[in-house]
């Protein structure tokens, strides 16, 4: 059972009591706190209103109400075109919705406004991966690590890019081994380790671009390549599984865990 988010307080008589912190209560607290911003020198009524809209956008984003969050973020940007955080959140929404061109534009704007935020480069690397631009993808993952060495996911995604877009086994092995060395507690550890072992096998040949056998199918079937597969048998036995495998391979950590 999931543990509820509660706080312990002391009552008037010195006894303890508990109350539950719900998302709605949290939003109310944020609204109340934001209402006092006008007393800060230099913080105008427009600034206060924009801060409140942004807090609501954050709330809806983390509630996965992306349409509402998107509308409010667009309003934030309209009122304050220099709000880099709003661009970052909006880019996340576009990425989740697979609007890669939109995500590319807003993440570039977010980086223009804040050139030192590693997460934006990480996200931009993901966008370029989905747009099949391997070199730009890898460059942005590397940049994210230069700014923040704790973003270990960049190593995984660089390996994924080398595998899926460049068909480079050696580089994939290198970056995936680095990743699992830094994150041995990762729940995907065993699957990544198995993939590394398959890639190390000299008998495992990566299917070339355009092959009837995808990389996902080859990994699923233990290294089967086009000249060793009976296409009809594969369709019957692994047709649905290959789709699941592709989803697992490509979507690991694309929903940000930062």
- pLDDT at residue 12 greater than cutoff 60: no
Rounded Cα gap, residues 178 and 153, in angstroms: 10
So what's the pLDDT on residue 56?
92
Please count the CA atoms within 13 angstroms of the CA of 184 that sit on its side-chain side.
1
Whether the per-residue pLDDT at 159 is higher than 90: the answer is yes
pLDDT on residue 221? 58
Name the residue with higher pLDDT: 12 or 234.
Answer: 12
Does residue 104 carry a pLDDT above 60?
yes
Is it the case that residue 16 has pLDDT exceeding 60? no
Residue 201 burial (C-beta neighbours within 10 Å; 0-12, 13-18, 19+):
exposed
CA angle 208, 213, 215 (to 5 degrees): 65
First CA to last CA distance, the chain: 25
Q: Which helix (H) or strand (E) holds 196?
A: helix 189-200
Q: Kindly report whether the global pTM for this prediction surpasses the value 0.85.
A: no
Please tell me the distance from the alpha carbon of residue 99 to that of residue 104, in angstroms, as a whole number: 9
Lowest-pLDDT range of 11-15, 33-37, 132-136: 11-15
H/E run at residue 243? helix 231-251
In 3D, which of 224, 215, 140 has the Cα closest to residue 172? 215
Q: Over 90: is that where the pLDDT of 210 sits? A: no
> What's the whole-number mean pLDDT along residues 241-249?
39
Q: Which residue has the higher pLDDT, 33 or 101?
A: 101
Query: In whole numbers, what is the pLDDT of the chain averaged over residues?
Result: 78
Q: How confident is the model at residue 47 (pLDDT cuts 50, 70, 90)?
A: confident
Instruction: Quote the pLDDT of residue 222.
Output: 52
Q: At 237, is the pLDDT very low, low, confident or very high (cuts 50, 70, 90)? A: very low
Tell me what the mean pLDDT of segment 59-81 comes to.
Answer: 94
Assign 204 a pLDDT band (cuts: 50, 70, 90): confident
Average pLDDT over residues 209-231: 59
Mean pLDDT of 113-136: 96
% of residues, the chain, pLDDT over 70: 67
């Amino acid at each position: 059972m999931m543990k509820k988010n509660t706080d312990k307080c002391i009552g008037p008589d010195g006894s303890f009591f508990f109350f539950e912190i719900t998302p709605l209560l949290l939003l109310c607290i944020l609204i109340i706190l934001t209402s006092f911003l006008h007393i800060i020198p230099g913080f105008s009524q427009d600034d206060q209103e924009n801060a409140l809209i942004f807090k609501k956008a954050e709330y809806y984003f983390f509630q996965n109400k992306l349409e509402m969050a998107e509308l409010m973020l667009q309003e934030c940007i309209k009122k304050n075109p220099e709000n880099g955080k709003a661009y970052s959140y909006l880019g996340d929404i576009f990425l989740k919705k697979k609007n890669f061109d939109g995500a590319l534009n807003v993440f570039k704007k977010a980086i223009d406004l804040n050139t030192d935020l590693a997460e934006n480069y990480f996200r931009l690397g993901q966008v370029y991966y989905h747009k099949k631009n391997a070199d730009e993808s890898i460059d942005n993952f590397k940049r994210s690590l230069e700014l923040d060495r704790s973003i270990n996911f960049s190593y995984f995604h660089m390996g994924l890019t080398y595998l899926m877009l460049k068909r480079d086994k050696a580089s994939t092995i290198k970056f995936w081994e680095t990743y699992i060395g830094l994150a041995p507690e990762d729940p995907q550890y065993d699957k990544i380790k198995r993939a590394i072992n398959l890639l190390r096998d000299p008998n495992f040949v990566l299917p070339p671009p355009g092959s009837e056998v995808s990389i996902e199918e080859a990994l699923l079937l233990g290294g089967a390549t086009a000249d060793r597969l009976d296409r009809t048998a594969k369709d019957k036995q692994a047709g649905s599984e290959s789709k699941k495998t592709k989803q697992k391979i490509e979507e690991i950590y694309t929903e940000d865990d930062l």
